[in-house]
């Protein structure tokens, strides 16, 4: 049976305790310490004396590549919950098209976008403060990035991933060609098993049901997943859960329906921030 956990329930089970709320600073820096092109990273940080212990959230933008707007959506949330927010800009010039951003460059000669995350965390830690790991949040095209990065990249310091309102998904199905499945990729069954066991909370706005959205993919393979984003998220989760049950793989994914939110990054960020503040490491233990 498909499990849908309301955000308020998780927060009630795992209260955040005293918040690290306070003043924040905003700005950007250039990140170049990785194998791909340099990119701008927009940040929202606590003041230096509040950096230690503040959860690090790496935010992946949508199709408009507007990392600055995405970071701005988190300013109030960072202040309220004491978060550190970093939104890297995967520009159209350096990462043209969905193949090099949403799909991470898998199967192309372009930069391998998913490999930016761990070096970016190193760069974030050089800015001061201590953190044991980081959270990934992505909305729309950023959610596509996030759910695939968990399959194709090791991400050893990842805490929890929150893909929100993706337009379509890569299924854990070796018989379906990439990018709708894994046929033609280097991923094998051990990779899929590891993927299903990674901590991921799938966020779906329950009003994200516009089947005519101009940015919604309508290929036959995408339409199999459902007529709109909300249905496609439910389909993806159900397929993954069935795969885990059939193979005996551990399954550490959860699905949260966010009431009253359509295809809106700001609304989904608010839901994610509350969950992150509610001790995301313990969300993994929800039955």
Q: Above 70 in pLDDT, residue 86?
A: yes
In terms of residue numbers, what domain contains 242? 7-279
**Residue 26 falls within a domain, yes or no?**
yes
Question: Which 3 state secondary structure label does DSSP give 47?
Answer: coil
Q: Return the pLDDT at 13.
A: 29
Summarize pLDDT for 149-164 with one digit per residue, the tens.
Answer: 999 999 999 999 999 9
- Widest distance between CA atoms in the chain: 53
Q: Flag whether the pTM goes above 0.95.
A: no
Q: Return the pLDDT at 77.
A: 97
Domain count, the chain: 1
**Residue 182 falls within a domain, yes or no?**
yes
Summarize pLDDT for 114-129 with one digit per residue, the tens.
Answer: 999 999 999 999 999 9
**Residue 273 falls within a domain, yes or no?**
yes
**Residue 98 falls within a domain, yes or no?**
yes
Q: Return the pLDDT at 22.
A: 64
Please indicate whether residue 7 or residue 224 has the higher confidence score (pLDDT). Answer: 224
CA dihedral sign, ordered 93, 212, 209, 106: negative
CA-nearest of 190, 193, 209, 196 to 257 is: 209
Mean pLDDT, the chain, as a whole number? Answer: 90
* Strands in the chain per DSSP E: 24-31, 39-46, 56-60, 84-88, 134-139, 158-164, 200-205, 253-258
**Residue 62 falls within a domain, yes or no?**
yes
Q: Above 70 in pLDDT, residue 218?
A: yes
**Residue 286 falls within a domain, yes or no?**
no
Q: H or E element: which one contains 12?
A: helix 7-13
Residue 12 main-chain phi, psi, to 5 deg: -65, -35
**Residue 257 falls within a domain, yes or no?**
yes
CA-nearest of 24, 40, 20 to 32 is: 40
Q: Above 80 in pLDDT, residue 14?
A: no
**Residue 287 falls within a domain, yes or no?**
no
Q: Return the pLDDT at 282.
A: 39
Q: Return the pLDDT at 279.
A: 64
The CATH number of residue 48's host domain is 3.40.50.1820
Q: Return the pLDDT at 287.
A: 27
């Amino acid at each position: 049976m498909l499990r849908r956990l309301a955000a308020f329930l998780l927060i009630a089970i795992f209260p955040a305790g005293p918040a690290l709320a306070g003043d924040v600073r905003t700005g950007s820096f250039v990140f170049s310490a990785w194998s791909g092109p340099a990119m701008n990273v927009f940040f929202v940080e606590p003041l230096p004396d509040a950096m230690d212990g503040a959860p690090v959230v790496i935010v992946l933008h949508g199709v408009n590549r507007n990392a600055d707007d995405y970071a701005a959506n988190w300013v109030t949330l960072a202040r309220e919950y004491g978060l550190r927010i970093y939104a890297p800009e995967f520009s159209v010039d350096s990462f043209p098209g969905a193949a090099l951003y949403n799909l991470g460059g898998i199967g192309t000669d372009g930069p391998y976008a998913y490999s930016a995350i761990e070096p970016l965390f190193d760069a974030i830690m050089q800015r001061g403060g201590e953190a044991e790991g980081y959270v990934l949040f992505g909305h729309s095209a950023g959610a596509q990035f996030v759910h695939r990065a968990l399959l194709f990249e090791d991400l050893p310091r990842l805490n929890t991933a929150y893909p929100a309102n993706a337009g379509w998904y890569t299924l854990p199905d070796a018989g379906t060609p990439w990018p709708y499945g894994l046929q033609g990729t280097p991923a094998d069954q051990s990779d899929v098993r590891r993927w299903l066991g990674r901590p991921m909370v799938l966020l779906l706005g329950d009003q994200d049901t516009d089947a005519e959205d101009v940015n919604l993919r309508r290929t036959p393979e995408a339409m199999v997943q459902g007529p709109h984003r909300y249905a496609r998220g439910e389909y993806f989760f159900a397929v993954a859960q069935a795969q885990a049950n059939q193979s005996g793989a551990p399954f550490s994914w959860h699905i949260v329906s966010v009431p009253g939110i359509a295809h809106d990054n700001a609304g989904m960020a608010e839901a994610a921030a509350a969950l992150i503040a509610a001790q995301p490491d313990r969300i993994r233990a929800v039955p």
